[in-house]
Amino acid sequence: MGGGNAQKSKTARERNLEKAKAASKGSQLEANKKAMNIQS
């Protein structure tokens, strides 16, 4: 059973990475919207 936790933490880390990527993508979109509003 010892190896179970390592696998869990690995998948959790990957999931958090995806979340972080999605969050940064979202904030990037917001920044683009703001830039567009300034231009127009």
Q: Give residue-wise pLDDT tens across range 2-13.
A: 666 778 888 989
How many folded domains does the chain comprise? 1
Residue 22 CA, chain-centre distance (Å), reads 3
Query: What percent of the chain is modeled with pLDDT above 90?
Result: 5
**C-alpha–C-alpha distance, residues 20 and 17, integer Å:** 5
Instruction: Reply yes or no on whether the pLDDT at 31 is more than 60.
Output: yes
Domain that holds residue 16: 1-40
**C-alpha–C-alpha distance, residues 32 and 13, integer Å:** 29
pTM listed for this prediction: 0.45
Query: What percent of the chain is modeled with pLDDT above 70?
Result: 85
Any idea which residue has 């059973």 for tokens?
Answer: 1
pLDDT of residue 17: 86
Q: Which pLDDT band, with edges at 50, 70 and 90, does 40 fall under?
A: low
**C-alpha–C-alpha distance, residues 34 and 8, integer Å:** 39
